[in-house]
Structure 1
């Protein structure tokens, strides 16, 4: 597995983890808010979503920081483990509390699915990230070792070539010395033959030098070709990585555009029903008021669409303006 595949697996793990965390947070808010509202004074009903938001925010902090520490190969000690399990148990308790008080075993089992999945996902994701980090470190170490081995092999080849060249030069020098001694002995006997021998020796020496030059040129040419091939492969790898990055960015932009269009369609569907003659359920009415506020409709038009009073709708509008409507925004489809 190469580095690109390792990063792809890590990205898939991150996306899946955050999808599960986001879904569990949304489900927890929708489940726990009615329970908190039922056990809170009427004038403080608007604070009902705060507790599940606080607990789920702690879950997000734990998951995020655990992923960063795992990516860096670090460990936060026992307190992150305590916080992770404490927030998971709190989320589980808050989700099943309403069904447990009503002694609804089926409801307890159903509402325990999301918190349990969140707890197991947090632990499993941390283990996966640590394993991926260890695997990537080992992969990088192997690459460095292989690169070092290639460099050492190239150095040994260069040393062997230099040794062969030295041996050739020494051998040629030894032959030249022997030839000169032989020529000195024959110089007294036959001058003409000595001159011919010297001429032939010069020609052989020149031939050897030409052969050595040609061999050196061939080696240099081969080295340049290998260098050019390596550079070409590196350019192709860089271009391939750039194309993959551009494709990922395009896919992310398409997903974001589809999400915006889907939210616009959902608001349009909520507002398409027109005025109603009776009050809608409060949760649906809040969704209608949220959509009306997002579309910039007047308070009276929103009241006609949900069937509630103008005062109630005005209070919801004010919550959105003050920023206290963020719980409903998170709960909207």
Structure 2
């Protein structure tokens, strides 16, 4: 069944159910009201239709809410079942009570038709709606599976098409690459022929130049000897200058090492004094902070050694990290 047929069946079930409910309510009111008038206190006969209306209203609530829950696939539990059967039993009892009191079995059977039909219709409608809901769920599941299968098939077709396109692109690229290689081979052969021709021409030119060069070589030999002597003297002078430069660099490194050792001793002397109880002068405090930074001491330890706050010491540490601390230290010293 398609969705249109399912909706048509639901409408038919709903219309039929409410027709039966309406007819049973009307029949029940007409049947029970005379009974209630005879059993009401004098002067209160006008309240006779209230009881059948209340019972029938409960029947309407049960039928309506059961249809909604069945459509949603839910279940109300035991209380809706109890209310459904209680209202059905009450409707049945009220409808057959008058005939039963008169011992009229035929009348009791006739008046039992509408309540029994109402009870069975309520139960049957609930079962039908649950079955329709289950069928709809199964159909939706089937449709989802079919849609997923179609999507998977479409994805496979797209993948196959992309693979074919990729193979075609690779084949075209291979053909283009072979064409380029063939053209490159032709170009290399042409270049090789041109190189051979230029090489022959160059060899002939070199042969002519060789004869001229041999004539010049004799004239230049003496000049080259003189040039070699000058170059030897220049090399000796350059070697002397290099030795002097190395000696100067050695001396500079030695002085730098001595300065580093002296600074290390000065830092050790500043740090060896230990924590102080009062703030040192700023210039001396800067020296202590510089020594602490060089030794990798934490900010708090440097603050204890100079007596200044950790914030001030942190600022000096940041200056050293930024490269401005050395300038400040040189200015303070």
| TM-score normalized with structure 2 length | 0.55
Task: Give structure 2 stretches of 5+ with no counterpart.
Answer: 192-333
Match of residue 119 from structure 2: 119
Report how many residues are paired. 191
The aligned runs of 1:151-230 (5 Å cut-off) are 151-185=151-185
Report the equivalent of 1:110: 110
2:137 matched residue in structure 1? 137
- For residues 175-209 of structure 1, the C-alpha deviation after alignment (integer angstroms, 9 at most, x for no partner) is 22223333444567899xxxxxxxxxxxxxxxxxx
Show the counterpart of 1:38.
38
Q: Distance in 1 between matches of 2:184 and 2:92?
A: 107
The residue correspondences of 1:288-327 to structure 2 (distance < 5 A) are none
Distance 2:11 2:149 in 1: 32
What are the superposed Cα offsets for residues 245-270 of structure 1, whole Å, 9 maximum, x if unpaired? Answer: xxxxxxxxxxxxxxxxxxxxxxxxxx
Matching residue of 2:148: 148
| Alignment partner of 1:68 is 2:86 | no
CA deviation map 1:74-95 (0-9, x unaligned): 1111011011001101110111
Task: For residues 148-172 of structure 1, give each alpha carbon's deviation from its aligned partner in whole angstroms, at most 9, with x where no partner exists.
Answer: 2222222222221111111111112
Distance apart, 1:146 and its partner CA: 1.9
Write the mapping of 1:233-248 to structure 2, written as runs, cut at 5 A.
Answer: none
In the aligned structure 2, how far is the partner of 1:95 from the partner of 1:177?
A: 98
1:87-106 correspondence to structure 2 within 5 Å:
87-106=87-106
CA distance in 1: counterparts of 2:96 and 2:85, whole angstroms: 16
How far apart, CA to CA, are the structure 2 residues paired with 1:103 and 1:46? 27
Question: Counterparts of 1:74 and 1:188 in 2: how far apart (Å)?
Answer: 84
- The aligned residue for residue 266 of structure 1 is none
Higher relative contact order (CA 8 A, sep 6+): 1
The whole-number CA distance in structure 1 between the counterparts of 2:188 and 2:49 is 119
Cα distance in 1 for partners of 2:112, 2:157 equals 67
Mark the structure with the bigger radius of gyration. Answer: 2
Give secondary structure in 2 for the equivalent of 1:43. coil
1:119-156 deviation per Cα after TM superposition (whole angstroms, max 9, x unaligned): 00010000001111111112222222222222222222
Distance in 2, matches of 1:15 and 1:131, equals: 18
In structure 1, the residue matched to 2:27 is 27
- C-alpha separation in 1, matches of 2:135 and 2:67: 16
Deviation string 1:273-317 (CA, Å, 9 cap, x unpaired) is: xxxxxxxxxxxxxxxxxxxxxxxxxxxxxxxxxxxxxxxxxxxxx
Distance in 2 (CA, whole Å) between partners of 1:51 and 1:184 is: 107
Q: Distance in 2 between matches of 1:151 and 1:22?
A: 49
TM-score, reference length from structure 1: 0.55
For residue 17 of structure 1, report the CA deviation from its aligned partner.
0.4
- Name the structure 2 match of 1:16: 16
